[in-house]
Chains A and B, each alone.
Chain A
């Protein structure tokens, strides 16, 4: 949200990587080739038009003014008007074309990167913090907008201007071209130094802005604690420290750019002075005309501003290539849960055999050699302590991850061989919290099946006994849920979440029971909804409540990644192990 974030290591991109990123972006922009070429064409025309000015002035002076020929002067003026008009028209077009191409490219990039992010398995989302992913899709792509809007244009036009000017200078007078060559090396060397220093300064400023903002945010969000401990002066002093650090980094970046601006300014005028000195000498030797000397003078005056602009562009280019590199990093991540080819049968048993699982780049096993067969229509409760691996087991059964050892099959088909589409139709996971997206209640239910009609949505809500509750709203199922469903209560959000599952009508239901509390009124409705949803479906429920556990056909107790106990409530009670202890503890805490 704050535009600037702290520098990440990837922001410091070496030249090779930057070139590679640029080349790849160019390949990606291939569909816009014609638009880009048109833009470049118009830019070339504009630049040529601007360069014609001094040439026409030369013609006017040498052929019109000097021989006192007012008709030729008039021709020169008319030619000048025509050239400027053409430049105006093509200049307008260049903006439109470059933006069409650039915004088209950014749109493509947004859609592609997002699509690729969505293809990733949950493991990817565990690895990458959500803030980082959001930043990739927003700040990083937006950092290229400036370049697209005018940066590239300026770059092309400055490059063209420099090239054309040089050619023009050579045509006008090779002797006077030396003038330009005398000053240019100074500018080139200075630009290189400026680029290096200003990039360092820019990163330094960004870093300081980032830490200043987080100190600021900490102060504002922590105001209650700060006041409660009467630490206002100390916190203000800390803030001042970071604020002064930011000021100093601004000053450094200012010093870096200041001498360069002065130097470019002075060089431009010195070039003019040289043009007068050498030009005068050449005119008097009869080598060039006065008009030529003046044209060179005017040309040189146009030449130094683009150099300055190019140097300022450097930071923008730098941060854009860094952003591109990060985005390509995402595009290069191969999704690790891939589509299979078989369709899953309509029903069957879920067989977990010898399954082991570890998260990538970790050593300890989350699950180790777990084998359970859940018969068609059976209800299995999975219980265990936090971190025992019970939720992971549930996620594996819905193929949100793939096991690192062993297999999980449904109706005899390995989940890895099934198409993702048929898998999502047969097996549905209902997450703990009712997570809602922006849009209406109906939109939210439809997340489960995009082509469902309003009546399908109503039927799904009705199936879990929740339709009446939502129809009571003024706009019924078309009520906007507002940001993250803030309009609905926690219980209502869970109902929507359950209705999604009802809409799919899957063979297997994987439930992660909520641990959070609902108000007693909704609690009953949610429990009722759950019960009707489970019905006679095969259900695997990660259970936290003994009431749920008791209603299960069998109970699997997971302890430290292993299947510790498996059996009915009575069997496990008789066993006197983990489960028995849990049941006793629960019974003891029951209010009388």
Chain B
């Protein structure tokens, strides 16, 4: 038996279904901000450290990041039923809404007012994304090495626009080796 972990809240499949439905319905412009807000800040199911590790794995694995995160969080709390509940919550409501929007769009076409609203919301959504990165950065140790990796990943993908696969292929082995030696 594993010793009980320090931070191990009880989360039922129904909790997962409700949480991921809420996250997916509200997640305009990106899932990450709202997932962290609900799961780390509100429900306190995960710490920032646990959350950022799940984000890291979800990024590294193939497929859609949000779906990967739903799978990992669901599995962590209630195994297969948790995965089914998280995925159902994450995908069912958007499927219904997107087809509803599709039907409306088919009938009425694009509304200019909606387009204008979206431009303003997009500006806010980018701010939400950047603030998530800033909050997660609080888990990093106050030393130079972790911040060097933050900077290199940012410069490689954000400024130099190298392909993600290339940046990860170079940085990930170095960072994992550093962590293995206890330096991260």
- Verify that A and B bind, or say they do not: no
Which residues on A are within 8 Å of B, measured CB to CB? none
Which residues on B are within 8 Å of A, measured CB to CB? none
